């Protein structure tokens, strides 16, 4: 990466992890990112490499065979991986959402049954099934139900989830549904009944839907998932009935730090590409990097990346200090995703016509950056959370 990296006050251990992942991303991830994007194929060999490095257990506590990463380490890993490929970083962060749910909300038996394998081998790959066709920013509007069958001591899931990352490659899903305990399916009561379930993908009635054709993040596997009388044992419930939505919001706040860090990684990659190009490309008998207009663009891009990284680090610091870091996480995601958009845009501009072609990575980075403003809470939702902080609400 070019230039001094502001916000790099890491411990020796955190810096060592960052260096390791940067090397892996540069050698194993980035070289194949364009092809994976073009063929819309997730690089499973890279996933196995992540497992070998222990990163598929990034947020799994050490007693279950995981890395037990602190928030700063989680962020630097996400940034370094996204520098190589946002699709790979996204797949890992969603797997981490799933392992975090099991670690934080699961019973001892659930943790022992799932976490060691998911950490050590990266299999089964985790999914996080919250969004639905009619319920995105407001997940409380979800229609998926889980009806308790007392005779079988099972829940019967019915409904449709949308935009599920790792949808085809995933082996286990954290599913949010409105639980109707004791078989009472009265819809008013269901409003407050969102509950989390752990559902293996090979359960009867778990149906993977069509793969989404996307603007960017094309190597990431995004599908719908339908539950058609999908029966799970009651012991697969992760929280008490009605406690699922607050659990989802807690998990998503943690996840936002990861998405913000990924946005920084994409922006840094675009800055690096644009800097190299500006050094090499000559017009008017000199490198375009000697032209003040281009130098100022790079100065602004570099400042945006540094500011975004500092907001990510501040959110990590608050989280590690045990503070309420919801506003800080939203500020980091809002500003870092905005930086990813503006920096990739300028990186394409600095490449001129070449930047508009698939020959150069900035074209893919530009398309990929957009998603960071949308998933795990849109920019508008981040601003709503930040405004609540402004008013002390």
Identify which range of 158-166, 180-188, 305-313, 356-364 contacts ligand FAD by CB under 6 A. Answer: 158-166
Under rule CB under 6 A, residue 36 binds ligand FAD: no
Cα–Cα dist 337/260, whole Å: 6
Which of 46, 164, 180, 199 contacts ligand FAD by CB under 6 A?
164
Whether residue 373 lies in the annotated active site: no
Nearer to ligand FAD, 30 or 214 (CB): 214
Q: How many angstroms separate the first and last alpha carbons of the chain?
A: 40
Which of 106, 126, 136, 255 contacts ligand FAD by CB under 6 A?
136
Cα–Cα dist 6/224, whole Å: 40
Cα angle 235, 228, 242 (rounded to 5 degrees) comes to: 45
**Least Cβ distance, residue 321 to ligand FAD (angstroms):** 28
Cβ(218)–Cβ(204) under 8 Å? no
Under rule CB under 6 A, residue 384 binds ligand FAD: yes
Q: How far is C-alpha 347 from the chain's CA centre?
A: 23
Per the DSSP assignment, residues forming a β-bridge with 135 are 132
Under rule CB under 6 A, residue 374 binds ligand FAD: yes
DSSP H/E element including 198: strand 194-200
Nearer to ligand FAD, 218 or 309 (CB): 218
Number of residues that bind ligand FAD (CB under 6 A): 22
Nearer to ligand FAD, 341 or 350 (CB): 341
User: For the window 210-229, what string marks contact with ligand FAD as x by the rule CB under 6 A?
Assistant: ----x--x----x-------
Out of 22, 79, 241, 376, the active site residue is: 376
Under rule CB under 6 A, residue 163 binds ligand FAD: yes
**Least Cβ distance, residue 238 to ligand FAD (angstroms):** 15
Going through 65-186 in order, the beta strands assigned E by DSSP cover: 125-129, 145-149, 154-165, 170-180
Per the DSSP assignment, residues forming a β-bridge with 170 are 125
Which of 76, 86, 94, 386 contacts ligand FAD by CB under 6 A?
94
Which of 119, 130, 259, 319 contacts ligand FAD by CB under 6 A?
130
At a CB cut-off of 8 Å and minimum separation 6, what does 246 contact?
Answer: none
Identify which range of 49-57, 98-106, 118-126, 127-135 contacts ligand FAD by CB under 6 A. Answer: 127-135
Cα–Cα dist 271/210, whole Å: 35
Cα angle 333, 86, 210 (rounded to 5 degrees) comes to: 105
At a CB cut-off of 8 Å and minimum separation 6, what does 215 contact?
Answer: 367, 370, 371
Write out the residues near ligand FAD by the rule CB under 6 A.
94, 128-131, 136-137, 163-165, 214, 217, 222, 371, 374-378, 380-381, 384
Active site residues: 376
């Amino acid at each position: 990466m070019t230039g001094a990296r502001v916000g790099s006050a890491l411990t020796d251990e955190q810096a060592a992890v960052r260096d390791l992942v940067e090397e892996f991303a540069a050698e194993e991830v980035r070289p194949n990112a364009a092809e994976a994007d073009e063929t819309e194929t997730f690089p499973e060999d890279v996933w196995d490499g992540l497992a070998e490095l222990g990163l598929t257990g990034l947020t799994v506590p050490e007693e279950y065979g995981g890395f037990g990463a602190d928030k700063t380490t989680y962020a630097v890993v996400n940034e370094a991986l996204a520098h190589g490929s946002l699709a790979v970083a996204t797949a890992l962060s969603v797997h981490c959402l799933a392992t975090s749910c099991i670690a934080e909300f699961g019973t001892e038996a659930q943790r022992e049954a799932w976490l060691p394998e998911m950490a050590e081998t990266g299999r089964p790959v985790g999914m996080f099934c919250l969004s639905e066709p009619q319920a995105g920013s407001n997940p409380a509007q979800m229609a998926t139900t889980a009806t308790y069958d007392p005779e079988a001591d099972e829940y019967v899931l019915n409904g449709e989830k949308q935009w599920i990352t790792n949808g085809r490659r995933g082996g286990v899903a954290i599913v949010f549904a409105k639980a109707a305990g004791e078989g009472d399916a009265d819809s008013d009561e269901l409003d407050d009944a969102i509950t989390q379930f752990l559902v293996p993908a090979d359960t009867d009635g778990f149906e993977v839907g069509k793969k989404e054709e996307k603007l960017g993040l094309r190597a990431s596997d995004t599908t719908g998932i339908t539950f058609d009388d999908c029966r799970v044992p009651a012991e697969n419930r992760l929280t008490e009935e009605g406690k699922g939505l607050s659990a989802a919001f807690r998990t998503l706040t943690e996840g936002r730090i990861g998405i913000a860090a990924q946005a920084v990684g994409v922006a840094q990659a675009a800055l690096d590409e644009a800097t190299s190009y500006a050094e090499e490309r000559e017009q008017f008998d000199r490198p375009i990097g000697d032209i003040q207009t281009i130098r100022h663009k790079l100065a602004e891009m570099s400042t945006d990346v540094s500011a975004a990284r500092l907001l990510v680090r501040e959110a990590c610091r608050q989280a590690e200090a045990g503070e309420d870091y919801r506003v800080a996480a939203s500020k980091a995601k809002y500003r870092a995703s905005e930086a990813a958009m503006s920096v990739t845009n300028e990186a394409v501009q600095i490449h001129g016509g070449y930047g508009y072609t698939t020959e150069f990575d900035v074209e893919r980075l530009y398309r990929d950056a957009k998603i960071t403003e949308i998933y795990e809470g849109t920019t508008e939702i981040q601003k709503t959370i930040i405004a609540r902080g402004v008013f002390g609400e």
